[in-house]
Amino acid sequence: MNGPGDSRKRRGFTVIELLTVMVVMGILANIATPIYQEARRRADAAAVIGAVHTIKVGVYDNFAARSSYPPSAGWRVVPAQLRPSLPGSFKFQYKTVDFRWRRWSNAAGVRRGGGPLIGVELRTSDQKLLKAIRNAYKGPTLAGGATSITLILD
């Protein structure tokens, strides 16, 4: 009854077909994972740059109101003078990135126009994310180490 002329169709997949599909899926997953991680890293870098831009707007708003820049602050500390100019829940941290407000007013930290040099220092243990932030930031930077960088606000 089940000879070569039998017209019944077989149902299901063979083990070889299933293994082939699993191998192809594994290869595609290995190709897609680094691409996904890089896209996620770029999105995190964009979020950090957006936070720095928010700080920049807050700093200039604060300067317009007080005619001075807030003093430097510690890691993850929002300067008290700057709080009213930032969104209510704004933090000086994004995921693994810590922020620190910096104002230099000595001779080495004076701009061409005579005002102080101001910036946001970033630190993270994720060196690939730090590199993505460096690549995404279009303004001037100060040399940082393997785990930090200072973005100068213009």
Per-residue pLDDT of 13-66, as tens digits, reads 899 999 999 999 999 999 999 999 999 999 999 999 999 999 999 999 999 999
Task: Supply the mean pLDDT for the chain.
Answer: 89
Residue 140 backbone dihedrals phi, psi, to 5 degrees: -75, 155
| 3-state secondary structure (DSSP) of residue 22 | helix
Between 63 and 10, the more confident residue is 63
For 91-152, what is the HEC assignment?
CCEECCEEEEEEEECCHHHECCCCCEEEEEEEECCCHHHHHHHHHHCCCCEECCCCCEEEEE
Between 105 and 109, the more confident residue is 105
Residues in the chain: 154
What confidence score (pLDDT) does residue 15 get?
A: 94
Confidence tier at 112 by pLDDT (50, 70, 90): low
Q: To the nearest whole percent, how much of the chain has pLDDT over 90?
A: 76
Q: Indicate if the pLDDT at residue 116 is higher than 90.
A: no
One-letter identity of residue 13: F
67 torsion bin: left (phi>0), alpha (psi -120 to 50), beta (else): left
1 Cβ contact partners less than 8 Å away, ≥ 6 residues apart: none
* Range 130-146 average pLDDT: 91
What per-residue string of b and e applies to 17-39 under the rule 16 or more CB within 10 Å gives b? Answer: eeeeeeeeeeeeeeeeeeeeeee
Cα distance between residue 54 and residue 47, in whole Å: 10
